[in-house]
Amino acid sequence: MQAAIMGYGTIGSGVAEVLEENREQIVKKVGEGIELKYILDIRDSIPEHNDILIHDFSLIENDPEIELVIETMGGIHPAYEYIMRLLEKGKHVVTSNKAVVDACGSKLIRTASEHQCNFYFEASVGGGIPVIRTIYHNYAGEKLTEITGILNGTTNYILTKMRESGAGFAETLREAQKLGYAEQDPSSDIDGFDTSRKTAILLSMASGNRCRHEDIYTEGIRDVSDIDIAYARKLSRNIRLLGSVQAVEEKYFAYVAPVLIARADPLYMVDGVFNGIRIVGNCLGTTMLYGMGAGKLPTASAVVSDIIAAARHKSHFQGIGWSEKMIEIEPMGSNAFRYLIRVEGMPDGMEQDIREYFLEDGSSWEPVLLDGRTDEFGIMTDVMFESDFHENRQEFEEKTGRRIFHFLRALG
């Protein structure tokens, strides 16, 4: 099967490497080799592949021998236009590009179905973790009620390091940038947009309908401080940036936010650059996928799994994806959490007011004090709807004159 790669960067070069390294195995699985006929890139020279390097997309588009194209350029434009034109010609397309899948996935999936070819995007969520195909194939008979994941290795690395070293966010980010674990412009990762795009793709996969990442409440980790981490430690919890979707009686809930998770949660042990995705189904119960959510070879491996699927399903549309019908996501206020609140002053004399706004009858009164700090204390609230929490928080501050310096949502 003749193929082309568009974008020979980290992932594109990784795909070429995996195709070469695992050539025999791929031939055995597919019955034929995957031969790279073109590599499209901006740069003038790729020493190991100058013989097939091109700069003109139309060569790929108009070459009838090319049956499969791997898009690893990133970004929405011109990736979207290129993929669309290839699908319209009936060529299979495999991408690792979450931006284009999130923004234009439903149109591309429809076009693939109209032209009886395939558009695969396994590597767009969870890098080397096979979550898209797992949802599509393995959980096809399940009603999925929740998918919650640590979907961004950069933020997970920063939060893990903050806990290990006790250092603040800015210092840890600088260190991560020095080591190459965070981009020089880290906004897409640390402000949660990367996780939000992946969460939108997971919700679209699970619901079968389209969801926009702009409709998902998104909060990053910029405001997580070393003091928050110290409270997490005292509570035997970890703070993790979660992307979460839930389906309850035809209603969809979703958010991206840093959340305190308890030791009993399988996501608790997902440290460093690793990703974990907890999936709950009505008959399945809870399962978790774990692995490298990014990186050259793990991501390339997922792309190659799509290449093999394309070679195996050469002559028909396989149906992985979702429709163009939009789903509505319930407002953030209708999600329920426990909250760690950091209250100004010491806890003496505060029990009654805290109980009135944040604890149910019979809940125990367990203020959390940090060593050496006398200016604030922490309390874990009972489970509350987010809208009630904000209302109560405001009323509490007005009534008591005590500020709530910061809060963190908590699960479990």
Q: Would you tell me which residues interact with ligand NAP (CB under 6 A)? A: 6-12, 40-43, 72-74, 78, 96-99, 123, 127, 294-295, 299
By beta-carbon proximity to ligand NAP, the closer residue of 94 and 242 is 94
User: Least Å distance between CB 104 and ligand NAP?
Assistant: 13
Tell me the C-alpha distance between 119 and 70, whole Å: 10
Q: Which is nearer to ligand NAP, 60 or 147 (CB)?
A: 60
Q: What's the CA gap between 261 and 282, in Å, rounded? A: 22
Q: At what angle do helices 153-165 and 226-234 cross, to 10 degrees?
A: 70
CB of 377 to ligand NAP, least distance (A): 41
Nearer Cβ to ligand NAP, position 42 or 264?
A: 42
The residue among 323, 87, 113 whose CA lies nearest residue 205 is 323
Cβ closest to ligand NAP, residue 123 vs residue 341: 123
Nearer to ligand NAP, 6 or 162 (CB): 6
Residue 297 CB, nearest approach to ligand NAP (Å): 10
Nearest CB to ligand NAP, comparing residues 73 and 112 = 73
Cα–Cα distance for residue pair 328/338, rounded to 1 Å = 25
| Measured CA angle at 234 (ends 229, 236), to 5 deg | 90
CB of 285 to ligand NAP, least distance (A): 29
* CA separation for the pair 120, 93 (Å, rounded): 6
Closest by CA to 22, choosing from 34, 6, 4, 8, is: 34
Q: Which is nearer to ligand NAP, 168 or 295 (CB)?
A: 295
Query: Of how many residues is the chain composed?
Result: 412
What's the min distance (Å) between Cβ of 219 and ligand NAP?
21
Residue nearest to ligand NAP (CB): 9
Q: How far is the CB of 270 from ligand NAP (least distance, A)?
A: 17
Residue 112 corresponds to which amino acid? Answer: A
User: Considering the complex, what minimum distance in angstroms separates the CB of residue 95 from ligand NAP?
Assistant: 7
> Which residue numbers are catalytic?
198
End-to-end C-alpha distance for the chain, whole angstroms: 50
Instruction: Please state, in angstroms and rounded to a whole number, the distance separating the CA atoms of residues 128 and 300.
Output: 8
CB of 74 to ligand NAP, least distance (A): 3
Residue closer to ligand NAP (CB basis): 19 or 343: 19
